[in-house]
Structure formats: structure tokens, C-alpha cells
Structure 1
């Protein structure tokens, strides 16, 4: 199973990269969560924000696979402990790639290597459209999309 999305954003690599890793960028697009990591391959990361367990809910966590500024962010992820009792057994890989196309940035997201019968696959299929649309909107306009949650 593989999910693949390509978005063209009317901004430079720096702005799109910031939306993927900075606290303001991730809060604006990843359901109010901050991406916390030292971004070293092999090291942990977590998206932490408001949710089931209060303000410090771990929504997704895992291990950084690749981090190349302005180009690539890839990680193995697990759903947070409050989502599934067997969260440690559930895994997928997420890879963001950035490249310059004319005066735009092409953002490619691939979410693959899902554990068999991963219960979050259908949710990911829907959520990535919202997250990527939010990134595009935030980078281009400075405004976030309000999904009414």
C-alpha cells in the first residue's frame, strides 16, 4: 500500500521547508501539533499537541530516517499511544521531497511500508489531503485552513 501526493506551492524551498519542520509551520498544518526532534537520522521524533491526552498528546512518533535540509525529510512512524493499544506494532514510512520547479516548489509526499491491516491507513488517505492543502495555503497566504474541528 502506498499513498503518493504531489503539490505545487507558489513559494521557495525555504518557506515550504519551514512549514514542514518549524513549530509555527507544523502547528498550522498538522492539526495543531509541533514536530519535536533533533532531526538526526536514527533519532526519535514526535508530533505533539492538543488531543486525547491534553495539550501534550503524542499523535505520531517514531524514528528519523533521512534529513537533508531544503530537500528531504523521511521517518518511520507509529500512531500515538492513545490511538491504538498496539501502537508499537503499527508502522509506516513517510517521505517528504522538495524540488524547485520554475518559481515554485514541488512537494511530494509518499506514505508507504504500512504494517499489514494498519488501522490508520484509511485515515491517512484522507488526512494527507487536508495536511498538504493546509501547508500550501499557509505558505502562500499566511493563513491556515479551518476544518471545523
Structure 2
């Protein structure tokens, strides 16, 4: 496979506060409401984090390390499938930049250091728009969307 690295950037505007957006990303009980997963860590630089399926099995699906945590403006984490955690080359990086705009927030998620053509690159380009749309819905209406929904055939 190519050693080329790519980035995926997604920006959305949410009627909320930076504090609420940051908490929704980092508090497990909030993340499960729009992501069907919990992000678990103490969110201190150098600490591990886990992305755990919010169901009875509680499967750890993603792991990484907190690179930077500057609440409520910025969070940077490394990101890898739990099954590939031992391979340093499998890690990518996710940056959450949260900027206040009057009564709303501009959230920019940059997922970089992705291997071009990899399953992870393919997955994040489909996954982030659904997850961030669900986050927006959750913070603005109190209900997330089904991030596992599939297109209807017809």
C-alpha cells in the first residue's frame, strides 16, 4: 500500500456553546447520545483514550492518546483501530477546533495522517459527516440521528 498520507476536514456550525460542544465530545454519557459510542479518558495530554461501543458488549473499537487538550477550544488525539493498536503506522490524528461565533460554534474536525486508500480513510470520510450531523442535532434538539442508518434502495 502507498505511504501517501491524506487528510479529511469537516466543518459544521452548531447553535451551542464551546463548552457544550467540548463536553459532548469528551463526556461518555453525552457521546453515547449521538455517536452510539463513549469516548473515555481523563483528557490530559499523554493519557490514553478509548472509543467504546455503547451496548451490552462494550467493545473497545478505537484507541489512541491525547496529544493536546485545551478546553473548550481544542482537542487533539491519535486514532487507531483497537485491533491495530500495536502498530505505530496504523495511527492517524484527529483535531477538534471549536470557535465561538455569536450564539453558535464553528466546529472543524481535521482527521489527518490517514493512509491513502486504507479502510480507515474510507471509513472516516463516511463516518465523520454522520457523527457530526448527529452531534449538531443532539446539541440543537436534544436528539441525535441514527449514525448506522443505511441508504434505502428503491
TM-score tier, shorter chain, comes to 0.7 to 0.9
Residues 68-114 of structure 1, C-alpha deviation per residue, up to 9 Å, x if partnerless?
11111111111122xxxx45321110000101012110100000012
What's the TM-score once normalised by structure 2's chain length? 0.84
2:16 matched residue in structure 1? 11
Aligned residue runs from structure 1 range 81-92, under 5 A: 81=83, 86-89=84-87, 90-92=90-92
Aligned to 1:34: 38
TM-score, structure 1 normalization = 0.87
Deviation by residue 1:31-51 (Cα, 9 ceiling, x = unmatched) = x21111111111111011247
In structure 1, C-alpha distance between the alignment counterparts of 2:85 and 2:50, rounded to whole Å: 13
2:34·2:143 contact (CA, 8 Å) conserved in 1?
Answer: no
Question: Equivalent of 1:47, from 47, 51, 73?
Answer: 51
Unaligned 5+ segments in structure 2 are 1-5
Q: Which residue number corresponds to residue 126 of structure 1? A: 126
The alignment yields a C-alpha RMSD, in angstroms, of: 1.8
Unaligned runs of 5+ in 1: none
Which position in structure 1 is the counterpart of 2:3?
none
CA contact (8 A) 2:32 2:54 kept: no
**Offset of 1:116 from its aligned partner?**
5.5
Q: Determine if contact 1:91/1:115 at 8 Å carries over to the other structure.
A: no
Hey, what's the Cα distance between the residues in 2 that align with 1:93 and 1:76?
Answer: 4
Q: Which SS does the other structure have where 1:136 is aligned?
A: helix
Q: Provide the C-alpha distance between the structure 2 equivalents of 1:139 and 1:9, rounded to a whole number of angstroms.
A: 8
